[in-house]
A and B are shown apart, each in its own frame.
Chain A
Amino acid sequence: MTKLTRPPGELERDAKNTNVSQNAQRKSTTSRTLRFFATIASLILLFVFTGSAQDDFKAYNQSVSGTTVNFKMMPIPEGKFKMGSADNQKGHRPDESPQKEVTISAFWMAALETTHDEFGAFWTDQSVTINSSVDAVTRPTSQYIDLSWGMGKEGGFPVNSMSQTAALMYCHWLYKKTGIFYRLPTEAEWEYACRAGSEATFPWGDDANEMSKYAWFKGNSKSKYQKTGTLLPNTWGLYDMLGNVAEWTLDQYDSAYFSKLADPVRDPLASPQSRYPKTVRGGSYVDGPENLRPASRQYSEPAWNKRDPQFPKSRWWLTDAAFVGFRVVRPVKQPTAEEAEQFFKAYIGQ
């Protein structure tokens, strides 16, 4: 594989630049209002709005000093696409329409789903507290049982069974470590990247029989997730967008979301309102082809953690959602330190 250069001067920047004072973070948890979420939503749009024509908008590898984390980020160019599916497309469901013309600003997206190895570097980072209710970056608790369910942990298997909070906390940790703002994709960004220009039922066309070449799903997974990046990527170099583990997005799930969007619309996001339901995309190793369409939408629900016997239930782990994972994106226009902390506070709550 070609060695890809990283954008100069961006990586391994001193994390100090991005720290805001602990006191400021501790001050208040009272600001979680709708008004605040609206601000955050517009901030996200702002981050991705500007700038994509830089010369350094290329694939690069992100490492994290002091760890073995090293993952590849692919450039996703600005563009327009039809989000959702036509009413007459095979497998169409009502929450995938009406289709809207969506413009997506440029961003980078991880070529692979985040792995246990990568997430483990965060989870075992001794410099970070565990399950603190005040520290902005804090580590997940131990799992009471093994939530990889024996499917594999080392050597490139996707990390799974985490809440959206845990996935975003990993992003916050990455930000603290690298100075680069990573987050989960919006639902729109995810679908745009998955389609990579295709309007067909699947990124490769309409033939479900092709699926085994690109995706781990019910038909070939033997009920287990598989190592990331072992099948074919889409035309933008993204592996396992469909299948393997379903992927968290930022969006609150709303079955009527598309009908509420303007047409055309740019960089839409359904702001966070409540813990459930949040949108996940891509389907997983337990799903049939009908859930592995770029347009297919799934969502989290309390049943995903039904076997957590404690109250309050874990904010980190899900006992009954072995099929959920995530991948990170990096908006081209990076937020200021203050904006970034506001973002994480809005989603994580501290």
Chain B
Amino acid sequence: MSADKTTRRDFVKGGTLLAGGLIAAPLLSRANYFSGAADTIKIALVGCGGRGTGACLQALLTKQNVKLVAMADAFRDRLDSCYKQINADDLTEWSGNKGNVKNKIDVPEERKFVGFDGYQKAIALADVVILDTPPGFRPIHFEDAVKQGKHIFMEKPVATDPAGIQRVLAAAAIAKQKKLNVVVGLQRHYQNSYRELIKRKDQIGEITSAQAWWNNDGVWVRPRQPNQTEMEYQMRNWYYFVWLCGDHITEQHIHNLDVINWFKGSYPVKAQGMGGREVRKGKDFGEIFDHHYVEFHYADGSILNSQCRHIPHTMSKVDEMFTGTKGKIFCGEGKITDLKGNVIYQFDMKTENDPYQTEHDELFAAIAKGDYKFADAENGAKSTMTSILGRLATYSGQVVEWDKAINSGLDLHPKVYDWAAAPPVLPNADGLYPVATPGITKYA
């Protein structure tokens, strides 16, 4: 659709001569961006939690002429709280600059959509959509946004099961054909230190092994409230349910696994590992593990040792490291050494950027120019699949092969999304959920 590009440039030129509104109408019919008046880029936010609110502000703080026109969330209170926060009088603490973005928010009551199906209506109203719900919904939302021809920012991970991965991969191919910009919130790709390190990765020769860590205390818990249906409870406390979250190996550790894939330029062919729940047990913690240790094998024989743990008072570390035939890369420190430990490159940490803002700056700049620059969805899906591969390995205790797993058709999702419907996992009489048992649990 390179014609769009031309149209857009001509339009901008014309816009300097004519009032934008006069020539906006012809654009409505063909462009998959700028469906609005003048050259405003319309945004819809789908998923209004803490991260969605942050991503929305990042989009509104780009230099482009943007406007938030629609919002959707499963819960009214989350949507309202987000709406209130983005309308703050002063965003100094957020952006470092005085002022606010109120004049970039135009979301009257009729463009606030609540419930499981609000996303479709919100997406329809926008040029760019921000998909920030719990990851279980990402395949459905991404698919719909692509179908409706929208540019997309979506958070990682992009699915929680192999069936979802296949849907995202299929939609990603269509997004490419349609030249829809897609940025996935694997923000290390937009972070200066990582961008400098990957340019220099050949300094360590061939990568022979890698290590990745996301060990820390864990995240929030939302205890069950009286009068909640089981579906509402799981949607509120979503982190602890695999169909919604993917387990923490997927929800968080994907960042580190993705870096390894990125530097390797490939994805693992198989994995085996171990995991379980030692500390984070009980009714409030659904079904996910609190630790996973996985050995990922790449086609060239190199191995990624990956560990992620959510256990307080244990060694905490979130980082990646590579060993090559000539040296090592320490991502967190922005450092490359030779095999004896002599530093051969050191990134200047004072020049580190805010990658969360950069990913939006670059996406919206491309859209404003009419450029097609970003196709992150395929890698997003494959790095998500890497994390799912690890989870299938730790849950089952078996060696899990990529090709078999990704084609397994494993689908964790409910048939019906409704507050009264039964979610795919249910608690027993004691309020406890079934948890995977290595050696017994089948992975697919």
Q: Which of B51, B217, B317, B355 contacts A310 (CB 8 A)?
A: B51
User: Is the CB–CB distance between B216 and A309 below 8 Å?
Assistant: no
Interface pair B317/A312, CB less than 8 Å apart? no
| Given A302-B96, A313-B94, 15 extra CB contacts under 8 A | A142-B219, A146-B216, A146-B318, A150-B332, A302-B92, A302-B95, A303-B96, A305-B93, A308-B54, A310-B50, A310-B51, A310-B54, A311-B54, A311-B94, A312-B93
Residues of B contacting A149 with CB < 8 Å? 332
Does A144 contact B219, Cβ atoms closer than 8 Å?
Answer: yes
Cβ–Cβ contact B96 & A306, under 8 A? yes
A150 pairs with B319, CB closer than 8 A: yes
- A residues engaging B (CB < 8 A)? 120, 124, 141-146, 148-150, 153, 223, 274-276, 286, 301-303, 305-313, 320
Assuming A142-B219, A146-B317, A149-B332, is B92 touching A309 (CB within 8 A)?
A: no
List of A residues within 8 angstroms of B160 by Cβ: none
* Interface members, chain B 300-347 (any A CB < 8 Å): 312-313, 315-319, 332-333
Given A142-B219, A143-B217, are A311 and B50 also a contact pair (CB < 8 Å)? yes
Chain A residue at minimal CB-CB distance from B221: A130
Residues of B within 8 A of A302 (CB): 92-96
A141-B220, A309-B356 in contact; A124/B312 too (CB < 8 A)? yes
What are the 3 A-B residue pairs with the smallest beta carbon separation, nearest first? A302-B96, A310-B50, A146-B316
**Does B354 make an interface contact (CB < 8 A)?**
yes
Q: Give Cα A306 to B54, complex, Å.
A: 11
In contact, A150 and B313 (Cβ under 8 angstroms): no
Query: Could you name 5 residue pairs across A and B whose Cβ atoms are closer than 8 Å?
Result: A124-B312, A145-B216, A307-B354, A311-B54, A313-B93
Are the CB atoms of B92 and A276 closer together than 8 Å? yes
Closest Cβ of chain A to B116, distance in Å, is 24
B57 at the interface (CB under 8 A from A): yes
In the assembled complex, which residues on chain B have CB atoms less than 8 Å from the CB atom of A308?
54
Please report the total number of B residues contacting A with Cβ < 8 Å.
37
CB A116 to nearest CB in B, in angstroms, measures 10
B56: chain A residues within 8 A (beta carbon): 311
Q: Tell me whether A146 and B215 are in contact (CB under 8 A).
A: yes
- Identify the interface centre among A305, A309, A313: most chain B CB within 10 Å of its CB: A309
- Whether A309 lies near B55 (C-beta < 8 A) is yes
- List the interface of chain B (C-beta within 8 A of A): 50-51, 53-57, 85-86, 92-96, 187, 214-220, 312-313, 315-319, 332-333, 349, 352, 354-357
CA distance A7 to B94 in the complex (A): 45
Residue of A nearest to B218 (CB): A142
A306 to B50, CA, bound (A): 15
Whole-angstrom CA separation of A274 from B85 in the bound complex: 18
Please tell me if the beta carbons of A320 and B352 are within 8 angstroms of each other in the complex: yes
Closest A residue, CB atoms, query B96: A302
For A275, the chain B residues whose CB sits under 8 A away are 93
In the bound complex, residues from chain B placing their C-beta under 8 Å from that of A309 are: 51, 54-55, 187, 356
Q: Tell me, rounded to whole Å, the shortest Cβ–Cβ distance linking A127 to chain B.
A: 16
Complex alpha-carbon distance, A139 and B270, angstroms: 42
Partner of A306, one of B219, B316, B332, B354: B354
Chain B residues with CB under 8 Å of A153's CB are 315-316
Cα separation A141 to B354 with both chains bound (whole Å) = 22
Measured between beta carbons, the chain A residues less than 8 angstroms from B54 are 308-311
How far, in angstroms, from A220 to B375 measured CA to CA in the complex?
45
Which residues of A lie under 8 Å from residue B93 when comparing CB positions?
A: 275-276, 302, 305, 312-313
Chain A residues, Cβ within 8 Å of B50: 310-312
Known: A142-B217, A309-B54, A311-B50. A148 touches B96 (CB 8 A): no
Most buried by B among A120, A275, A311: A311
Taken together as a complex, chains A and B put the C-alpha atoms of A122 and B119 apart, in Å, by 42
Give min CB distance, B37 to chain A, whole Å.
28
> Does B85 contact A311, Cβ atoms closer than 8 Å?
yes
**CB of B319, distance to nearest CB on chain A (Å):** 7
Are B356 and A307 neighbours in the complex by a CB distance under 8 Å? yes
Q: Which residues of A contact B51 (CB under 8 A)?
A: 309-310
A150 CB contacts on chain B under 8 angstroms: 317, 319, 332
B337 to chain A: closest CB distance in Å?
13
Complexed CA–CA distance, A310 and B47 (Å):
13
- What A residues does B214 contact at CB under 8 A? 145
Q: Which of B86, B219, B355 contacts A307 (CB 8 A)?
A: B355
Contacts of B352 in A (CB 8 A): 320
A306 partner residues in chain B, CB cutoff 8 A: 96, 354, 357
Give Cα A275 to B92, complex, Å. 9
Which residues on the A side are within 8 Å of B220 (C-beta)? 141-142
Closest Cβ of chain A to B7, distance in Å, is: 34
In the complex where A142-B218, A143-B217, A311-B50 touch, is A148 in contact with B92 (Cβ < 8 A)?
Answer: no
